[in-house]
Structure formats: structure tokens, C-alpha cells
Structure 1
Amino acid sequence: MIRYTKKYTQLIWLIPIGILIFLFGYKKAPILPSAGEVPQEYVLDFLMEGNERFSADEPLHPDQTLERLRDLNRGQHPVAAIVSCSDSRVPPELIFDQGLGDLFVIRNAGNIVSDYEIGSVEYAVEALGVPLVIVMGHTNCGALAAFVDHDHDHSHIYPEYIQKIIDYIDAEEEEKALPRDIPNFFDKAIEANVLHGVHELKKHIPHADSLINHKHLRIIGAIYDMETGKVKVIEDK
């Protein structure tokens, strides 16, 4: 009798949990389709819904299991390619609440789009068939801050390869077109750099015009707000 009582006394801590479930109900986690099941015309909506979960502090962290990892060993089928900044605070998979194998991500300081990035995106489009490419900048970007500082003060000396990044951004036509006396020059410079990346990809990805016209490919820009966690799509005017 003592052994019987001891056995069930150890489970008494479950009673409060049972009461709470009874009083407030059990909130079942939503069942989402895997990214690969989403029709290509809805991929952006799917990613933005993931960002809404992330920014609301309600991420689901889908497809991040060892089983998923082993499945991917047989091949990858990402639903989007994303060119983003290397900034440690800007991880695309977390920002869009996606899992292993869902996103083909190219990262560098300042989300620059030059030859190597174009080649990587070309692979994603041609070999992997991604229907969506996003060039994503972010607020308070260090690379763009260096560009803005250098634009205002050419006397500042940066290390050689950081200067190469600054010079690349400085040579972009979209940056040259910005008035220097506007109060939000930093934010507009971030946006102009994103749009430059979009223009470069549309110009250099093979058959991009045809793919876009036939709705097999979409190339867009976006800005991630590090304060709110939200991603905003920017229009290519």
C-alpha cells in the first residue's frame, strides 16, 4: 500500500496543469503546409506570414529536426533565394520562420549584389527553380553607415577591403541619384542599395525578363526593421 501511494504522489504535480488546461483550454499549434507545398504564386505571402509570427514573438520553427536534415541529404528544393547582410542580427531563416532547406541564402556585408552573388542567384533560379528572389537590406546597417560617413567625410580612412565595399556602394547609380541634404539620407541609402541589387539581378539573370513576364520568377527588394522584427517589401519604381 505504501509503494502504491508513493508512486502516485510523485504525479501530483500534474494536477495544477490539468486544472489550467480545463479552465483555459488547450491551444493547439496551427498546422502549416511545408514550404515546398505552397504554390509558387503564394510563396511571398507564405514568407510574410512567417515574418508576422516572428515579429509577434510566436515563431513555429518548422522543419528544424534531425529527420528533416537527413531528408535534405538527398537534395534541396528551396522556395526562395535571399541576398541579405551578414549582420549577425539578420538571419533570414529565423526572420521568416522557415526551416532547414527552405531558403537559399547569400549573405555579405551590406547585401551587395555583384558578380558572385549574381552567380549564386543564377544557380538558385536555373538549377533549383526558385520562383522568388529577395534582396533584403536592414535598418542600421553597418556597411551603409560606413558609406554615409565616408560620403560626408572623405578624410576618414577605412581598412582596404571595407573601403572596397564603400566604393562599390558609392558607385551605384541609385545612390548617386539620392539628394545628400535629405534628413533621412541613411534610410534612403539603405533602400537605394537594395534597389540596385534588384536591378542588377533583373539585368543579369539569364532570361529574367521572360521568366518574370510569364510569372515564373519574381525579384523584389525588402527592408528588415531590427526594432520591430518586421520585413517591408519596397517597390521598384
Structure 2
Amino acid sequence: MCGNCDSKVISRRGLMAGAGTLLAASALAIRLSHAAEEKPAPNAIAPSEALDRLKQGNARYRAGEFNERDYFAGRDARASAQYPIVAVLACADSRVPPEIVFDQGPGEVFVVRDAGNVVSNYGLASLEFAVAVLNVRLIFVLGHSSCGAVAAALQSVRERKKLPGHLPELVEEIQPAVIAAHGKHASDLLAATINENVRLGMRELKSRSDIIGKAVSSGKVGIQGGVYELATGDVNLI
């Protein structure tokens, strides 16, 4: 065989080998890309695990042993996506910041706040967004001791006194909890109403939203409630 023929054969073999290497590399890149796409999100955890994290965080908060965090770290990554482990419906009271109460960092808690932790229409839509888009696995309804909104609802029922502005709308949302607490003949009616108001919120989230109701029924999302004690920092689960 002539030298030119040998060089052509070698060139053809080299070309085939190079093409094979390129195809293999491309296939590997595609597999790695799919693997990256299929990697579970950071908040793809069981509802029970999300609750455990909140309990552990509250224990650290009570003990004054906060996790040390660099709040600047990860800011660039959070600019493009968020993966909260829980959505919290909390009272707007300035003494009850959920992220601090549960010792969680930026991007870990999706918070909706209304006076009396009532389930307003916009708040409900926000929690639906948390479930349907952000894939939170737990919704936590957080009331607190000595809640002024609940106390106002109690006073309104007792004295049949009409409050100014939009406050009557807020009080009306809490009144079913007042009635439920009265029915239990509790010695501390305010504390009992605060507890019943948390239970009311938990029920309304499931009954008023098909998105949340179906997610809870399927086991994908859990709902938990609790009352934060202002004096001790403890969150008592309901």
C-alpha cells in the first residue's frame, strides 16, 4: 500500500476516533445536565423534617444559642431563586418575628403577616403561591400570647362596641374563635381564644383553598399551628 493510502486510512481512523470522542463527551454533558436538572431542590423535604427544623430553631432561640450566619453569603444565589422550607402565617405584632423566633436564615421562611394572624384573601393567595410555586412543604400558623387583635375581638363581643375604620372586618374574622373559646368555658378566655384562633386559621387554609387543601390531603404539605409566648420565647404547638 502506498504512503498516501496509509495517511488517508490513518486520517480516516483519526477522524472517526475524534468523532466518537466528541459524541461521548456530548452524551456525558447531556447526562450531567439532566442530572443537574433532576437534582432535588433544597426545600424538597418531608413536612415533618421542616417542622423539626423549626422546633430546633426555637429551642436555640429560647436558649440564646443562635446559629452563626453570614447574611451576605449566598445573596447572589438568592437573587435568582428561593427555596423556603416553611410558609408562616403570623400576627403582625412587632414582637413576633418568625425568622428570629425559629432561628432561620434568609430565604428559609416565607412570611405572611396580618394582625391576629387571620386568613385574609391576599394572605391566602400568598400562601397558595408558596405552595404551588415555591413548593414549601409546611405551613405554620403562628399566634402569640396577649394578642391585641384577639383581645379587641373579645371586647367587641362582650361590649357590642363598634370599632373604627376597617377594624370591624378584622374582628369579624376572629369572632368564630371567640365563640369556640366561650363554648369551652375556659378560665383564661383570652388564651383560649388565641388557641382557637390558630385552629381556625389552620381549618380555613384547607377549606378556603383548593390548592392548599389538595396539597395537604395528598401529604405533600403539612399544616401546623402554635402560640408564641412573649415572656419565654417558647412556641407551644397546637
Normalising by structure 2, report the TM-score.
0.76
| Cα deviations by residue, 1:158-196 (Å, 9 ceiling, x for unpaired) | 3222222112212x3x43233265321101111111111
Counterparts of 2:83 and 2:138, CA distance in 1: 12
Q: Are the equivalent residues in 2 in contact too, given 1:122–1:206 (CA < 8 A)?
A: no
Counterpart for residue 136 of structure 1: 142
SS in 2 for 1:67: coil
The question of 1:199 aligning with 2:193 is answered no
What pairs up with 1:1-237 in 2 under 5 angstroms? Answer: 36=42, 39-40=45-46, 41-62=48-69, 64-155=70-161, 157-170=162-175, 172=176, 174-179=177-182, 182-234=186-238
Give the unaligned 5+ runs of structure 1: 1-34
| Cα deviations by residue, 1:8-49 (Å, 9 ceiling, x for unpaired) | xxxxxxxxxxxxxxxxxxxxxxxxxxx936832311001110
Counterparts of 2:215 and 2:153, CA distance in 1: 34
Counterparts of 2:147 and 2:68, CA distance in 1: 26
SS in 1 for 2:117: coil
Counterparts of 2:74 and 2:194, CA distance in 1: 35
Q: Are the equivalent residues in 2 in contact too, given 1:86–1:110 (CA < 8 A)?
A: yes
Cα offset for 1:107?
A: 0.4
CA RMSD of aligned residues (A): 2.0
Share of identical aligned residues, percent?
Answer: 34
| Cα deviations by residue, 1:88-107 (Å, 9 ceiling, x for unpaired) | 00000000000101000000
Counterparts of 1:198 and 1:150, CA distance in 2: 23
SS in 1 for 2:139: strand
Counterparts of 1:143 and 1:209, CA distance in 2: 27
How many residue pairs were aligned?
A: 196
Which has the larger share of helix? Answer: 2
Counterparts of 1:112 and 1:167, CA distance in 2: 10
Q: Are the equivalent residues in 2 in contact too, given 1:144–1:189 (CA < 8 A)?
A: yes
Q: Are the equivalent residues in 2 in contact too, given 1:110–1:141 (CA < 8 A)?
A: yes
Given residue 81 of structure 2, which amino acid in structure 1 is its aligned partner? G
Cα offset for 1:61?
A: 4.7
Give the unaligned 5+ runs of structure 2: 1-40
Given residue 220 of structure 2, which amino acid in structure 1 is its aligned partner? H
Normalising by structure 1, report the TM-score.
0.76
Q: Are the equivalent residues in 2 in contact too, given 1:61–1:98 (CA < 8 A)?
A: no
